[in-house]
Structure formats: C-alpha cells, structure tokens
C-alpha cells in the first residue's frame, strides 16, 4: 500500500515564525500536492509538483512556498506564519490521473 507520511500531527506556532511541514511518500509517485482544509469548505490546493524541482501554484499559494528536492519528499513552508493560516494541512501523492493517496494531516495552530 502507498504510504504518505506527514511529519507532524499537531503543531502550534507563533505569528511570524517560519514553519516547515514535511511530507514523504514511498511509492515513487510523480505528483505531490499540498491542500488545506477549513470547516465548510472543500479542500483547497496550495501547491503541487509533478516532478523533482518542479512546482506549480494552486488556488491559494499566497504566504506559502514549497520545495521538492527529492521525488519522495514535498515540503510546505510558511515563511512567516499568520493566524489565518491556522488550518488542517493535507499532503497527497498520485501518478497521472489515479486517485490521490493522502497523509494523515497536520493540524496547525498559529497563535
């Protein structure tokens, strides 16, 4: 089975801190994604990557950046955390149009 591992289940950070969310997948998937999920809204795509060192902005990239130096790892970076970035963050991977495989999520609270 594909395993997508997110480094932290819960994180509490202060406003202005730089935050790193790490995601690793073990099935050699080409595509990796970062979403955030907020109550009452569908998953919103922050960034995705279809290859090493490649990245594309999703629907809500402002305030975020990403890094994909190795195929299996996709990192989401909050350069200067703000309270409106308090959310559940989900990482996912896939090949082509196959279903997404998700990590367990990181619930980030920015105070």
Partner 1 sequence: ILNVEQSPQSLHVQEGDSTNFTCSFPSSNFYALHWYRWETAKSPEALFVMTLNGDEKKKGRISATLNTKEGYSYLYIKGSQPEDSATYLCAGRPSWDSNYQLIWGAGTKLIIKP
- Using CB under 8 A as the binding rule, whether residue 26 contacts partner 1 is answered as no
- Using CB under 8 A as the binding rule, whether residue 101 contacts partner 1 is answered as yes
Q: Out of 15, 82, 98, 111, point to the residue binding partner 1 (CB under 8 A).
A: 98
Min. distance of Cβ 49 from partner 1 in angstroms?
9
Judged by beta carbon, residue 92 or residue 110, the one nearer partner 1 is 92
Stretch that binds partner 1, among 15-23, 60-68, 74-82, 100-108 (CB under 8 A): 100-108
DSSP string, the chain: ---EEES-SEEEE-TT--EEE-EEESS--SEEEEEEE-TTS--EEEEEESSTT--EE-S--TTEEEEEEETTEEEEEESS--GGG-EEEEEEEESTTSPPEE---EEEEE-
Q: Which residues bind partner 1 (CB under 8 A)?
A: 4, 31, 33, 40-45, 48, 50, 56, 58, 90, 94, 96-105
């Amino acid at each position: 089975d594909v395993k997508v591992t997110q480094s932290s289940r819960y994180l509490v950070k202060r406003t202005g801190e730089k935050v790193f969310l790490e995601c690793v997948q073990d099935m050699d998937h080409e595509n990796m994604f970062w979403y955030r999920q907020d109550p009452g809204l569908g998953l919103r795509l922050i960034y995705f990557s279809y290859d090493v060192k490649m990245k594309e902005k999703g629907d809500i990239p402002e305030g975020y950046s990403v890094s994909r130096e190795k195929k299996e790892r996709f990192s989401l970076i909050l350069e200067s955390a703000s309270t409106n970035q308090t959310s559940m963050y989900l990482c996912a991977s896939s090949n082509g149009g196959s279903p997404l495989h998700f990590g367990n999520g990181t619930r980030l609270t920015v105070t």
